[in-house]
């Protein structure tokens, strides 16, 4: 689906982000997400799982950046915006280690791609 359709259909706020894979040879970006199912328009009732783990796969990626560039990711998505065909995902990353324990760091991902698909992982 186009990024515009994705932004309308999916709510990523408070969802977990666990991994970022860049496959340059395929022009693909993959984000492992613990999606808050209860925030989605299709969520019906308590008989469905509150969270669904899956991959957001961005195809035909034209531009991608992550600031700061981090290796370990254990985050929670704060917000997503879409401007001029570029999706921006801002999340708190809790795997940043500090002398006094775990400290959060804010990370920005921007991606411009032809389309994106949601691929849930069957449990």
At 40, is the secondary structure helix, strand, or coil?
coil
With contact defined as beta carbons under 8 Å apart, do 20 and 30 qualify?
Answer: yes
Report pLDDT digits (tens) over 20-65. 999 999 999 999 999 999 999 889 887 889 999 999 999 999 999 9
At 43, is the secondary structure helix, strand, or coil?
coil
With contact defined as beta carbons under 8 Å apart, do 13 and 39 qualify?
Answer: yes
Report pLDDT digits (tens) over 69-116. 888 899 999 999 999 999 999 999 987 654 455 556 899 999 999 999
Q: Which of 57, 65, 77 is nearest to 110 (CA)?
A: 65
């Amino acid at each position: 689906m186009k990024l515009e359709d994705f932004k309308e259909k999916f709510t990523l706020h408070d969802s977990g982000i666990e991994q970022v894979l860049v496959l340059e040879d395929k022009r693909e970006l993959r984000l492992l997400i613990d999606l808050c199912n209860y925030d989605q328009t299709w969520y019906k009732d308590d008989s469905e799982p509150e969270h669904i783990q899956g991959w957001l796969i961005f195809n035909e990626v034209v531009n991608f950046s992550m600031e700061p560039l981090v290796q370990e990711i254990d985050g929670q998505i704060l917000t997503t915006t879409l401007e001029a065909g570029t999706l921006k995902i801002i999340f708190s990353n809790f795997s940043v280690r500090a002398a006094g324990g775990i400290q959060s760091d804010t990370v920005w991902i921007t991606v411009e791609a032809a389309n994106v698909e949601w691929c849930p992982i069957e449990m």
